[in-house]
Structure 1
Amino acid sequence: MPIRWGDMDAMGHVNNTVYFRYIEQARISWFDEVNAAPDPAGEGPVIVNAHCSFLKQLKYPGDIEVSTLVGPPGRSSFEMTHEIRLVGADGLAGPVVAEGGAKVVWVNFPAEKSVPLPDRIRTLLPAA
């Protein structure tokens, strides 16, 4: 995904909050890809925490690659981790510039309670 001019702050580098947006987009893209978008009238994923380690500054212009990995399932949750890499002029992703993730919990939105992960999601996750 592209680094946008508006992603930068007064210090001339991508603001730390924007890394969370990059991770969010990767997470949402994964949910879209596996047909698991949240259904406000039913069930879906929410995050209960998020974290990011900033290893190197990013600056406009440029492109990044965000890799997404999923962890083993619990009863109603699993971890997602992400690695952000700057893409070079050769089109290849370089070293990790940030790493982060979130704990995802499957919930019943009307009941406002966690529920067991659906089998269709559980089968996508690695064994514990």
Structure 2
Amino acid sequence: MKILLPDHKRWVHDSPMEVRWGDMDCLGHVNNTVYFRYMESARVEWLRSTRETPHDGNQGPVVVNCFCNYLRQIEYPAQLVVKMSVSDPARTAFETWYEIEKVGEPGVVYANGGATVIWVDFDRQKAVDLPAWMRAMLDG
């Protein structure tokens, strides 16, 4: 079963990752919660690719919704690539999309998912406009 993601997304980053022994659960495959960690790591790596930190002092990204579709089991050992895309930039938010593949198996998607990210003023606990540098990254 292949679950399709929006066609209007734009690829922005590939993040190589290694499955660690501790990523597995008692059934011998990667635990479902770890897939979210893989997606988070790709997102932070992308954000840090042009900046030292993924935030501006007291403002930064906050995930408000996320999901994952588990399509195939992943076991240790494995080398992965998390392919990240973005879409739908708005005034304060944008969408992120992920496809997880094994290195050496291009096009075979083991999981896919997404997250809605909003830009927040941490002191005020309120969404604010995306900063210009983030808008430029989203617009490509």
- Verify same fold: TM over 0.5: yes
Query: Deviation at 1:38?
Result: 2.7
Counterparts of 2:92 and 2:27, CA distance in 1: 41
- Cα deviations by residue, 1:75-118 (Å, 9 ceiling, x for unpaired): 10000001000113xxx535111001100000111111000111
The AA in structure 1 aligned to 2:55 is: P
Partner of 1:2: 18
2:90 alignment counterpart: 74
Structure 2 unaligned regions, length at least 5: 1-16
For 1:106 and 1:11, how far apart are their aligned partners in 2? 38
Question: Which residue of the partner structure matches residue 53 of structure 1?
Answer: 69
Change (3 A) 1:87 1:94: farther
| Shift in Å, 1:119 | 1.6
Counterpart check, 1:110 vs 2:123: yes
Given the two structures, how large is their TM-score scaled by the length of structure 1?
A: 0.89
Q: Which residue pairs with 1:19 in the alignment?
A: 35
Q: How many residues are matched?
A: 123
Structure 1: distance between partners of 2:58 and 2:25: 38
Coordinate RMSD, CA, aligned: 1.6
Q: Percent identity?
A: 48
**1:19-68 residue CA offsets vs partner (Å, 9 max, x unmatched):** 011001001101111325135x5111110011000000000011000011
Amino acid at match of 2:91: R
Detail structure 1 runs of 4+ shifted over 3 Å in the superposition. none
Unaligned runs of 5+ in 1: none
Would the aligned equivalents of 1:81 and 1:99 in 2 still touch at CA under 8 Å?
yes
